[in-house]
Structure 1
């Protein structure tokens, strides 16, 4: 019996050592960007007007790639609409189980110079609510005269990082003044892609002059239409020569064909022949047709 116990203990120890020595595979996140950058300067970026109350957008494989001082990054570019002088923005980057886009924001001047930048450390962690995920959150303002352009991207240093977020049960216990529960705070990996949202609140509006007006608004149609038509008609009447007089042989041919059509009761054909003969210069086709239908 003692030998059996020792044997079982040895087998158990060997199995534990074997499990401990078995290599584990971990998912290595890919935060590198091998595709070429779309542009060499901020002025070459494409911009989305910030209209409406909010904009949900994603930075994904279809987004633009910019070459920033820290290296390449997928990004989104936005511009103030012309009717807004100052705009308050709440930028949120949602934290999902698949990861989060760790943002950096550049505010650019009308000449595309960097005026203001917000690092990841400037963003606050915003806990989840009933209808929203955890998020990175930052509130700031843009102005038409100083900072009409905004770029949201994520440097490689950010993409390689992660964030440990408080467990919902721990937050609940702290709010209720209860003892801290034995839970592990989840870790969210920073990624090169992510889902974000802009909440927009105009602070000051501005009026502006349209840079280009439609042609119809410049040239009134009521005053020019009549002369144009009159000129066209006059030109047509002058340019179109009168049809030459039809030869007697042709007159006789058309009249015979009109007569045959009327006698066969094919009035549509007779009318067509009469009109064709008149256009060709006949002076007797109409009289022939009228004379025949009187009989």
Structure 2
């Protein structure tokens, strides 16, 4: 486990020096984003994104008056959320509740801070879960996401498609569920069918976690290359700015004093020894901003030595 974690941080460190295209390859997620629906930037900006701050558990009603998207395969009412990108990894559980033999069949696309598709969860990802003591019939899926460093927020869009609206979900008859629960033979009766609807009810649970298997959202960005944050949902058109002279290049940092260099290097070593890799990374970045030439070498050597 420790070696896997160390390998992850070393790959993260190495990828921060790669060009944008190489970073995309280095952080290729297991979710096939290439088949995610394509939405125009204007459509995404006009959506009213609802902020969710973990830990959170919310119920969302999808109605005819909910935000609408009718573009490509996406049809009808949607739910749009923003999630913080500075809370570490996120675990998101989405339930779509069956009510009166009707259910909203969700698909989810996750976008990074620049509104670029980063992960895709089609409706098939949200499996049918039979009713329990504390819950009813539902479609359920859990997503584990890790926002890359350098972002403030990511976006989660829940929608349904034309194909899903034409489909149905087979439920488990309560009598069968009871018989199976007590170890009896299931009665030979037909299972009820839930028709997919453009409206419904969702339960969204979000919690932040550290060191869990998850999908990387967005590309790691350094301060010098990170684009300005995107303002989502603003209806005010941007006003073209008058051309200005290019700023003078920043002067290189002065060489760090030996005592300061030793202080940061010792802090990096102690953080790695204590297993606090995040703290070690922050110390390394801060030291390099102040002109250190050995902090990165110290970090890599300490991590490799720990493995």
Q: Tell me the TM-score range normalised by the shorter chain.
A: 0.5 to 0.7
Q: What is the aligned partner in structure 1 of residue 141 from structure 2?
A: 138
Q: What is the aligned partner in structure 2 of residue 93 from structure 1?
A: 96
* Greater RCO (CA < 8 Å, at least 6 residues apart): 2
**Relative to structure 1, is the Cα distance of residues 38 and 133 closer, same or farther in structure 2, using a 3 angstrom cutoff?**
farther
1:159 and 2:161 are equivalent in the alignment: no
Retained in 2: the 8 A contact 1:38–1:65? Answer: no
Q: What is the aligned partner in structure 2 of residue 174 from structure 1?
A: 180
* SS of residue matched to 2:178: helix
Q: What is the aligned partner in structure 1 of residue 32 from structure 2?
A: none
Alignment of 1:1-295 (within 5 A): 40-51=42-53, 52-81=55-84, 83-145=86-148, 148-204=154-210
Provide the aligned length of Structure 1 versus Structure 2. 170
Deviations 1:261-290 (A, max 9, x none): xxxxxxxxxxxxxxxxxxxxxxxxxxxxxx
**Relative to structure 1, is the Cα distance of residues 153 and 54 closer, same or farther in structure 2, using a 3 angstrom cutoff?**
same
**Relative to structure 1, is the Cα distance of residues 113 and 83 closer, same or farther in structure 2, using a 3 angstrom cutoff?**
closer
1:55 CA displacement: 1.1
RMSD of aligned residue pairs (Cα, Å): 2.6
Counterpart Cα distance in 1 of 2:133 and 2:177: 14
* SS of residue matched to 1:184: coil
| Higher Cα radius of gyration | 1
Retained in 2: the 8 A contact 1:39–1:45? Answer: no
Retained in 2: the 8 A contact 1:38–1:64? Answer: no
* SS of residue matched to 1:43: helix
Ranges of 4+ aligned residues in structure 1 off by more than 6 Å: none
Q: TM-score, normalised by structure 1?
A: 0.53
Structure with the largest fraction of helix: 1
1:187 CA displacement: 0.9
| Structure 2 spans left out of the alignment, 5+ residues | 1-38, 212-228, 230-307
